[in-house]
Amino acid sequence: MIDIDELRERLVGMQLPEGQYRVLDFQSWLHADALGSPTLPEGVLHPMWVFNAALSGAGITVDGLFALADITMDDGPMGGEMEMRQVRPLRVGEALTVRATITDIERKQGRSGIFDRMTSEATISDEADEVVGVVTNVYIFPRRA
């Protein structure tokens, strides 16, 4: 099993590759329809797009993020917690930039065994580089001896 101190040294504070994100009008419509969303003002995206931008707009895949911690999908990683803060509504068609950092990794012992909790924070900015949303995700990585 990989040493937690080595993981912490290697990962905490790591800036992940920057990514870009843009939601087109038809995507907004499909998303709102699937969610049964109430009608929003013209051009305004449903708040859930902040979360979507953080994951889909990052410059690294989820598999790539997990690989940094020596985890594959076969290891059974899980989403643990998510906190989302929307500073202002996102708009259809606007160019967004996603910048993410690994902020913590810790080892725990639970009923099912040893696991790591890795926390990442993604900041979503608009074309003026103003922050429009922040998403913090905690991922759970089972560790087997």
Residue showing tokens 């099993």? 1
Strands (E), 4-72: 19-21
Give mean pLDDT, residues 78-99: 96
Give mean pLDDT, residues 60-73: 95
Q: Positive or negative, the Cα torsion across 102, 55, 23, 135?
A: negative
Residue whose C-alpha is closest to residue 120's, from 66, 41, 75, 43:
66
126: domain CATH number is 3.10.129.10
pLDDT at 114: 94
pLDDT at 83: 97
The pTM for the full model equals 0.90
Owning domain of residue 85: 4-143
When divided into structural domains, the chain yields a total of 1
Residue whose C-alpha is closest to residue 136's, from 118, 114, 116:
118
Give mean pLDDT, residues 45-71: 94
